[in-house]
Amino acid sequence: MSASYPLRRIPISKWKKYVLIAQHDRLRQFLPKTDPYSPDALASYLTRQGQAVIKSELGGGGNQVCLVSKRSRSYEWQDCKRTVRVRRLRDLQASLPLWTAREKCVVQEYIDLFPMRGRPTDIRIIIQRNEWGAFEVTGIFCKTAPPTRFVTNVKQGGTISSLSRYLRACCKVKNTRRLVRDRLLQAAKGVGDCYGPRFRNSVYGIDLGLDHAYRVYIIEVNTKPSLEILSQISGRMHQRALALQAWNRTATQPLIRTARTIPDAGGAHDAESGNVHGPDAGGADDAEPGSVHGPDAGGADDAEPGSVHGPDAGGVHEAGPDSLHGPETGGAHDVDPGSAHGPDADSLHASGPASLQALGAGDAHVS
């Protein structure tokens, strides 16, 4: 059946996008605890965990995001430029950047991301609406923060590398890498399933985190990710992304079908596995989309493009957790969150992302 694009674009507000994902049964497990920011909410996070991330709902490019930490006898916060330390909680609140008081913000649980080269690293997956109206994975890469910082955004000095290189640094067991990759693609597919039927946006940049227990988190969703940065990872990835970008600029009435009904795009896994169909979306172990074996011609598990300084990401972390953390830099509160935790907040916070250590191989393929 054919259908036209939805007329509305998704709100750019980080909180609104979070609420939409929290309402999605299969995606709720991937969400870190997040609330609208207030001094009381921050104090609660620090008491419970000792750290939290504050992000402006409309910030981008790694700006307007700060990590707040409770030390044994002090408090401190850092952003992409400086670190401030104070003795008391009330002094902390007074010292925070002005944007935390002037703008709507969210406070999010701190995720202890699995590092690369000792620095925080997160994963960007780009999905785009394809010729059949379904969302296809067109890009995957990792972003690593500069020394002594936690923001991974390329605009703030972050570096990029391939997913296969990162996973080899995190996981020595090949089967574990496959399970992690499947979970990442399952989360990306879920975002397309959640947003696709409701909003006309044709591209999303999904920032995901991996902790030391191999739990996968959706940190944020960006609505204007840079596609040019893909040229640093894979020429095929970049070409496919640009082709779909051009196609979506002219398409007005694509065929809207579910991932299970579109023709096989070459992925090793079908839609039942939880992956998004796309050029080699689920290819050989650690392979990247856009190439039969990954970004390297010989691909599989050994050859890796070196980590490079990315050009202006133009939005690679154009949204929020533009740090290892932020949900995207989004905008206004169009949807009434209803409560401090949003819809189904209690059930969301009661069941965090499942650890891969507790998953069997079959679990990673459940959509």
Please check whether residue 325 is in contact with residue 65, taking contact to mean a CB–CB distance below 8 angstroms: yes
In a domain, 153, yes or no: yes
In this predicted model, what pLDDT tens digit does every residue of 176-214 receive, in sequence order? Answer: 999 999 999 999 999 999 999 999 999 999 999 999 999
Half-sphere exposure of 65 (CA within 13 A, CB side): 35
Q: Into how many domains does the chain fold?
A: 1
In a domain, 355, yes or no: no
Average pLDDT over residues 120-134: 95
Average pLDDT over residues 238-258: 79
Percent of the chain clearing pLDDT 70 (strictly above): 66
Question: What is the structure's pLDDT at 332?
Answer: 39
Q: What is the CATH classification number for the domain harbouring 142? A: 3.30.470.20
Among residues 80, 233, 55, 53, which one has the least CA distance to residue 153? Answer: 80
CA 343 vs CA 28, 45, 219, 303, 331: distances in Å: 11, 19, 18, 44, 19
- Beta carbons within 10 angstroms of residue 144's beta carbon: 24
Tokens of 29: 């497990």
For the cut 60, the answer to whether the pLDDT of residue 57 exceeds it is yes
Greatest extent of the chain over all pairs of C-alpha atoms, in Å = 63
In a domain, 105, yes or no: no
Average pLDDT over residues 168-183: 95
Question: What is the structure's pLDDT at 360?
Answer: 36
Average pLDDT over residues 120-138: 95
Average pLDDT over residues 10-33: 94
Question: What is the structure's pLDDT at 305?
Answer: 38
Percent of the chain clearing pLDDT 90 (strictly above): 56
Question: What is the structure's pLDDT at 263?
Answer: 36
For 297, the domain range is 114-309
In a domain, 122, yes or no: yes
Higher pLDDT, 252 or 291: 252
In a domain, 296, yes or no: yes
Beta bridge partners of residue 364, listed in sequence order: none
Angle among Cα 152, 107, 166 to the nearest 5 degrees reads 25
For the cut 90, the answer to whether the pLDDT of residue 313 exceeds it is no
In a domain, 139, yes or no: yes
Helices 174-195 and 14-22 pack at an angle, to 10 degrees, of: 100
CA 329 vs CA 11, 131, 145: distances in Å: 10, 28, 18
CA 235 vs CA 7, 35, 87, 273: distances in Å: 33, 39, 51, 27
Average pLDDT over residues 137-154: 90
Burial class (CB in 10 A: 0-12, 13-18, 19+), 232: buried
In a domain, 124, yes or no: yes
Q: Which helix (H) or strand (E) holds 220?
A: strand 216-222
For the cut 50, the answer to whether the pLDDT of residue 260 exceeds it is no
Average pLDDT over residues 22-44: 95
Question: Rg of the chain's alpha carbons, rounded to an integer?
Answer: 19
Question: What is the structure's pLDDT at 175?
Answer: 95
In a domain, 123, yes or no: yes
Question: What is the structure's pLDDT at 251?
Answer: 76
